[in-house]
């Protein structure tokens, strides 16, 4: 079987899956276009709250993907759906964030303010590069009245052109420190954004593709969706080997060509001390995890090592893991 067998909708993360910075990731565009050509609906999920769905669709289209705004599910869209269940229609909302968030708030029929003195009915917060201390202060002033607080996402980091920068989670944490409460969250790893995507595309058997265990894979697992972790972004072999129960993907792929390749089964010995994937064999001897046979595929070694460590029930810090499994 391949990871796409029986799948009716592919839901792809963006950063680390489709592109890195200004460049498309090798094989990603061709693979996603191939999936669409074979009759699988392709949608995109992003926690990035600074851009509208139109802007995201235009960006993806520039790489050669066939994308319209309706194909893009954003964390502001999921957050505004949560907001609608907390306040009256047409309410005044204090927005911390940019056009990616304000546009969704206004499309839902709410009125935007930036000032706590206007006595908004709720605060909604998302990342934008120009969010400043004064914006966080206004949110804090408003929230001290005990009104609802919704965040688009709580990612601690965000990949940008120059590298890895602080994400919306750091800004949410600053407000939390001031007010002592926590927001409800629309984006990954919470279920709301996945449920919004499933509903929009009418998915019955979706597959989510991500590159981060702490947002992508945990979120898919919480939503009961099959997941494929692709080794082209943030988390690599070291993080996979150490993944806890909540953050283990259904599939591990080297790149998106793996969507169409037969996925080798994992064979575990009866005592869970030997794992075989393809021609790769990894063994647990005491507290040492050893590569017995590398085979002809590094990703198979990672699959075997991950399966072995996960089945052992032992924490990664208590094991001596062979460097060839993660380097």
Residue positions annotated with a catalytic role: 13, 15
Nearest-angstrom CA–CA distance, 232 and 313 = 27
Cα 184 from chain centroid (whole Å): 17
- Name the strands in the sheet holding 149-151, side by side, starting at the edge strand that comes first in the sequence: 111-113, 92-96, 122-125, 149-151, 184-185
Decide if 275 contacts 291 (C-beta within 8 A): no
Nearest-angstrom CA–CA distance, 249 and 217 = 6
Reading the block at residue 208, the tokens are 């989510």
Buried b (16+ CB within 10 A) or exposed e, 237-253: bebbbbbeeebbbbbbb
- Name the strands in the sheet holding 266-268, side by side, starting at the edge strand that comes first in the sequence: 266-268, 274-277, 280-285, 288-293, 320-321
């Amino acid at each position: 079987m391949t990871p796409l067998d029986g799948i009716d909708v592919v839901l792809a993360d963006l950063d680390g899956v489709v592109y890195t910075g200004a460049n498309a990731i090798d094989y990603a565009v061709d693979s996603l276009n191939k999936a669409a050509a074979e009759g699988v609906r392709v949608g995109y999920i992003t926690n990035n709250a600074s851009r509208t769905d139109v802007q995201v669709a235009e960006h993806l289209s520039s790489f050669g993907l066939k994308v319209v705004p309706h194909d893009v599910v954003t964390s502001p869209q999921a957050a505004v759906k949560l907001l609608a269940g907390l306040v009256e229609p047409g309410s005044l909302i204090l927005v911390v964030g940019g056009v990616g968030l304000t546009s969704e708030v206004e499309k839902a029929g709410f009125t935007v303010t930036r000032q706590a003195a206007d006595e908004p009915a709720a605060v909604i917060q998302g990342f934008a590069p120009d969010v400043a201390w004064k914006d966080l202060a206004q949110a804090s002033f408003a929230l001290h009245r005990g009104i609802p607080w919704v965040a688009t996402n709580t990612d601690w980091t965000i990949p940008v052109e120059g590298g890895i920068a602080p994400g919306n989670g750091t800004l949410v944490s600053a407000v939390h420190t001031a007010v002592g409460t926590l927001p409800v969250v629309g984006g990954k790893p919470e279920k709301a954004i996945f449920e919004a995507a499933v509903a929009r595309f009418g998915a019955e058997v979706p597959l989510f593709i991500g590159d981060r265990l702490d947002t992508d894979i945990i979120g898919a697992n919480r939503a009961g969706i099959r997941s494929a972790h692709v080794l082209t972004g943030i988390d690599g072999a070291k993080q996979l080997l150490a993944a806890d129960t909540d953050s283990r993907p259904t599939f591990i792929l080297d790149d998106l060509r793996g969507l169409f390749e037969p996925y080798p089964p994992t064979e575990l010995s009866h005592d869970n001390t030997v794992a075989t994937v393809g021609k790769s064999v990894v063994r647990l001897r005491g507290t040492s995890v050893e590569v017995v046979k590398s085979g002809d595929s590094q990703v198979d070694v990672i699959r075997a090592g991950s399966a072995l460590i996960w089945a052992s029930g032992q924490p990664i810090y208590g094991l001596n893991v062979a460097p060839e499994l993660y380097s």
